[in-house]
Structures are given as structure tokens and as C-alpha cells.
Amino acid sequence: MSIELKEQLHNFVLSLLALSPSRNYITQFLFIVHINRSLDYRIAEEAYPDLLKNELVREALAKIFDLSITDKISLEPRGYGAKLVDFVKEILSLFEDGNFRAKVNALLKEEFPGGVPNLAREWLEVRVRGAASEPTYGQQAITILRKIMDVGRAKIDELEGALNVSRGVLLQCLNLLKIYGLVSEEYDGSYRPSEELRRYPDVVEGV
């Protein structure tokens, strides 16, 4: 491969990596809003004070990324923010593809000595660490997440009995896990690990 093509491929890969929510604060914020469809403003402000506390910054971001900000935050369906999230989702899928990573690793050995990362897994790791580091409920949330992963799916009553945690705390922890997109609530009220966690369960073991 020519040096010029190698350089172009390297720049292309670096640009895609830079957009990942695991590496960029802005796309991370947009992803969290997207995961929740409509995110409670107070929760978002606590997690992203830099973006939301200052009124001028908040309003500018709302216009730039077509965000609706009231007591809830959501992405306008046809706005650029939503389109950017869709694009970045495809980048995560591309870097999750083992064939793609193997080929890029073979072509760019010197540029990425440790190999190009699996961005879908990296983003999951960031979310698990983010949930675990929440000062009040983080650690308990991870314990609950492990339990849900062990049994595959669980209802609140079952978790309450199995873990000896009060319902109030349990609801707070499940809410935290939902915000980070680590569990989903099913139609019958039970909770399941997210699709990504089912693909990479070992991510939780390292926390």
C-alpha cells in the first residue's frame, strides 16, 4: 500500500475514533439523551454541568444540535444531533466488526501497535464505569446489574428478595442503570441486561 493511501486510511480511522461517545464528551452527551429518549433535565445537568449549567452554552448547544430542552431533554427527530447519533452508531458497529479491525490492524500495524479498539465495547465500558462511579447508588447498582445478568431477567420483587435491598434504593439503582442504557424494562415489568451487555458480559466483571 502506498504511503499516501496509508496516511489517508490512518486519518480516516482517527477521525472515526474521535467521534466515539467513549472519547468525545459532546457525542457522549447526545448518546445519553438518545438512549433515554427524553432525559430528566436535573439528572443531565448533574452529569454534564459543563454543557448545561451556563445558559448561553446550553442555548447555543440546543440550536446547534437541535435539542429540545425544557424539564426534559430530547433530540429533535430530524435535527442534526439525531443524525450525528445515527452516524456514530454505525461507526460503533463498524469497529465492532472483527473483520474490519483485523484488516485495519494488518494495514496500520505501526500506527496502532495495540490494534484498533472495539468501540462498541469501549463505549459499554465507559457506561459501566460511569454508573459505578455514581456516589450514592453506583456500587449497589453494579451489584443489582450482576444479579440481573446472572438470572437473565428479573422483576423488582425478585431482586428485592434476593438482594435484601429496599424497594426505594432498588428503584433508584435501576433508574441509574436505565440512564446509562445498561438494562431495559420489559413489557411485564421485568429488567433485562442491555444487548451490548449480553454480548460483552465480562465488562462488568472488571468493575
- Rounded to the nearest 10°, the torsion over CA 204, 19, 83, 74 is 50
Stretch 47-86 residues interacting with another protein (CB under 8 A): 48-51, 57, 60-61, 63-64, 80, 83-84, 86
Using the contact rule CB under 8 A, the part of the chain among 90-98, 141-149, 158-166, 170-178 near another protein is 90-98
Residue 66 region by backbone torsions, left for phi larger than 0, else alpha for psi between -120 and 50, else beta: left
Kindly state the smallest distance separating residue 164's Cβ from another protein, in Å.
33
Beta-strand relationship, 191-193 and 183-185: antiparallel
Count of residues making up the chain = 207
CA R_g for the chain: 19
CA distances from 84 to 66, 99, 207 (A): 11, 25, 30
Kindly state the smallest distance separating residue 101's Cβ from another protein, in Å.
10
User: Taking the alpha carbons of 14, 18, 22, 23 in that order, is the dihedral positive or negative?
Assistant: positive
Report which residue type is found at 159: L
Stretch 101-140 residues interacting with another protein (CB under 8 A): 103, 107
Per CB under 8 A, does 166 bind another protein? no
Kindly state the smallest distance separating residue 107's Cβ from another protein, in Å.
6
Kindly state the smallest distance separating residue 26's Cβ from another protein, in Å.
5
Note whether 76 and 66 are within 8 A (CB). yes
Say how far apart CA 32 and CA 68 lie, in whole Å: 14
Using the contact rule CB under 8 A, the part of the chain among 96-104, 143-151, 177-185, 190-198 near another protein is 96-104
Pick one of 76, 90, 150, 185: the residue that binds another protein (CB under 8 A). 90
Pick one of 16, 73, 145, 173: the residue that binds another protein (CB under 8 A). 16
In the complex, which residues of this chain contact another protein (CB under 8 A)? 1-2, 4-5, 8-9, 11-12, 14-16, 18-19, 24-28, 48-51, 57, 60-61, 63-64, 80, 83-84, 86-87, 90, 93-94, 97, 99-100, 103, 107
